[in-house]
Amino acid sequence: MAGRKRHSKPEIEPKLERADTLAASGHTQIEIAKALGISVMTLHRWRKARGQSGPSTAEDISSDIAFVHGPSRRRDPRIAELELENARLRRLVTNLLLEQMRLEEETHPESKLQTLPRDRDDLLELMANR
């Protein structure tokens, strides 16, 4: 692959220190990766290898959400926490709905549903078609 560069361990550590400094000053993951001349995935891989894999503070979570919503849109850390909680709750509700449908099928085999949804995607498709 042309353009692919492997960084040595002595090159990685100073870049990770600079990334930490940029993150502390409020830069998004995209901005940090661009300043270091690497991809966001490379930055995450390096942090994971160093033992600092996931976001640990609300600011880090906010910067990851800013990565999804675009680099120019700064987010309030509380909004970021609420968005993450909302995503977890949606998954929980979906799992509960799947379990409820399975239990109804077991207790009422003459139900209208011929096949039960296997996972979240099947359930969402089934609900969209109703």
Q: Are 64 and 29 in contact (CB under 8 A)?
A: yes
Check residue 100 and give its pLDDT.
86
- Count of CB atoms situated within 10 Å of the CB of 63: 25
- Structure confidence at residue 71 (pLDDT): 47
Q: What is the pLDDT of residues 7-44, one digit of tens each?
A: 888 888 999 999 988 888 888 888 898 999 998 888 88
Specify the higher pLDDT residue, 89 or 129: 89
Read off the DSSP letter of residue 111.
Answer: -
Can you say how many angstroms the Cα of residue 130 is from the centroid of all Cα atoms in its chain?
A: 29
Tokens matching residue 71: 């680099």
Residues 6+ apart with CB under 8 A from 38: 7, 15
pLDDT of residue 36: 92
pLDDT of residue 10: 87
> Has residue 1 got a pLDDT over 50?
no
Type of residue at 100: Q
Angle subtended by helix axes 29-36 and 40-50, to nearest 10: 90
For the entire predicted model, the pTM comes to 0.39
pLDDT bracket for residue 54 (50, 70, 90)? very low
